[in-house]
Amino acid sequence: MIASLTPRNVVVAVLLLLLAAVPVYAAVTANAFLVTLFTRVIILGMAASSLNLILGYGGMVSFGHAVYLGIGGYAVGILAQEGVTSGFAQWPVALIVSALFALLVGALSLRTRGVYFIMITLAFAQLLYYFGVGLDRYGADDGLTIRRRSQFADLINLSDRTQFYYLCFALLLATIYLIWRLVNSRFGMVIQGARSNDRRMRAIGFPTFRYRLTAFVIAGAICGLAGALLANHTGFISPATMHWTRSGDLIVMVVLGGMASSFGPLIGAVALLSLEEALPILIRAMAFPVFGDAAVRMAEYWQIVLGPLFLLVVLFARGGIDGLLAGARRG
């Protein structure tokens, strides 16, 4: 990554520094909840980044990506329930099962395009969602409480909030780096080429199906790992994690942050959190001169601004926040 002082690079650098400093700040202000809050942002940023590989770069609009969060989470949860609390067993299972499921879904879905691809990925996600709902032994719809975090002998103690935070942060950065390397290699060139003109790429001689499937599997596996992290973080897993609306959340993070950009998904995850807090304050501030005390109640309905905001982003800022920062950029 060429480190030139563009606005976008500055923002990203500052963001990374701030995120790295969160546990320190939290310790100083004795507010441990901050760490909890930002751990979730980081994990979701990791999941969104994995989606970006296939959605942003590959043009594969998967409406079932949250399913891997569920697979990873249930790998940890089910194994913990059965007495296997070692992370050395749980996390590889999370990765492998996610990869296998992605392989299955990808093999069947990647022959379709457009809305059909969206719907078939959705179908598989709902299949797994309902499968989770039917898991009577593991809580079904009520979900599963995870009593102990993944154990890693003496290497790292996940119950320590700070250690867990930095582990997630490290994994996030590793994910972003991995995707950056993939995208800037021949592999990534084929994926992106296939997004804009699949026929041409195949005409040149690239077996695009195989490349896209590989990307799909990698994205699924990374998201599965994020799922294992999320389950450790919340201490709870339920089929709701795999519901199609959660996949929608991930897509929003990617698009809002900026598709086909390294840090876009992370920016998207942070942005959504900030919006949740900033919008009520903004509404209150803007409405107060006109409506006085009623402005506080009005601020409760901040989500009514969020909806049209998405529509506006879609219509006018297709490149997301990252796109806005980098100047005019086609999505």
Partner 1 sequence: MKSFLMGTAALAALSTAPAAAQQSVKIGFISTFSGPTAVIGNDMRNSFELALDHLGRKIGGKPVEVIYEDDQQKPEVGVQKSQKLVESDKVDFVIGYIWSNVLLASLKPVVDSQTFLISANAGPSQIAGEQCSPYFFSTSWQNDQTPQAMGTYMTQKGVKTAFLIGPNYAAGKDMLTGVRTTFKGQVIGEELTKWPDQLDFSTELSKVRAAKPEAVFVFYPGAAGVQFLTQYAQSGLKGQIPLYTAFTVDAITLPLQKDLALGVPGAQEWVNDLPNDANKKFVADFRSKHKNYPSFYGAQSYDAANFVNSAVVAVNGDLTKKDAMRAEMRKANYASVRGPYKYGNNHFPIQNFYLQDVVKDAQGNLTLKTVATIVKDSQDQFHDKCPMKW
Partner 2 sequence: MLLFIEQCLNGLQFGLLLFLLAAGLTLVFGIMDLVNLAHGSLYMLGAYFAATFAAWTDSFVIAALLALGATLLVGMALEVVALRRLYGRDHLDHVLGTFGLILFFNELVRIIWGPAGLSLPLPMWLIYPIEILPGLFYPTYRIAIILTALLVALFLYVLVMRTRLGMLIRAGASNREMTGALGVNINLLYTLVFGLGAALAGLAGLMQAPILTVQIGMGENILILAFVVIIIGGIGSIRGAFIAAVLVGLIDTIGRAFLPDVLRLVLSSRGASTVAPAMSSMMIYLLMAIVLVLRPEGLFPVSSK
- How many whole angstroms separate alpha carbon 60 and alpha carbon 117? 8
Give me the least distance between CB of 326 and partner 2, in Å please. 20
184 binds, among partner 2, partner 1, none (CB under 5 to 8 A by kind): none
SS (H, E, C) 208-271: HHHHHHHHHHHHHHHHHHHHHHHHHHHCEECHHHHCHHHHHHHHHHHHHHCCCCCCHHHHHHHH
Query: How far are the Cα atoms of 13, 74, 174 from residue 18, in angstroms, in the given order?
Result: 9, 32, 18
- How many whole angstroms separate alpha carbon 270 and alpha carbon 40? 10
Helix axes 208-234, 87-109, angle to 10 degrees: 140
Q: 62 by DSSP, 3-state: which?
A: coil
In the list 87, 106, 143, 319, the residue contacting partner 1 (rule: CB under 8 A) is 143
Please list every residue from 121 through 140 that binds partner 2, using CB under 8 A.
Answer: 122-124, 126-127, 130-131, 133-136, 140
**Could you tell me how many residues of this chain bind partner 1 (CB under 8 A)?**
36
Q: Output phi, psi for 272, to 5 deg.
A: -60, -40
- Name the β-bridge partners of 145: 236
Q: Is 303 in the site for partner 2 (CB under 8 A)?
A: yes
**Contact letters for partner 1, residues 225-264 (x by CB under 8 A):** ---------xxx-x-xx---xx-xx--x------------
Give me the least distance between CB of 204 and partner 2, in Å please. 24
Contact positions vs partner 1 (CB under 8 A): 29-34, 36-37, 40-41, 44, 133, 140-143, 145, 147, 234-236, 238, 240-241, 245-246, 248-249, 252, 272-274, 276-277, 303, 306
Contact positions vs partner 2 (CB under 8 A): 55, 61, 63, 108-109, 111-112, 114-116, 118-120, 122-124, 126-127, 130-131, 133-136, 140, 244-245, 248, 251-252, 255, 301, 303-304, 306-311, 313-315, 318
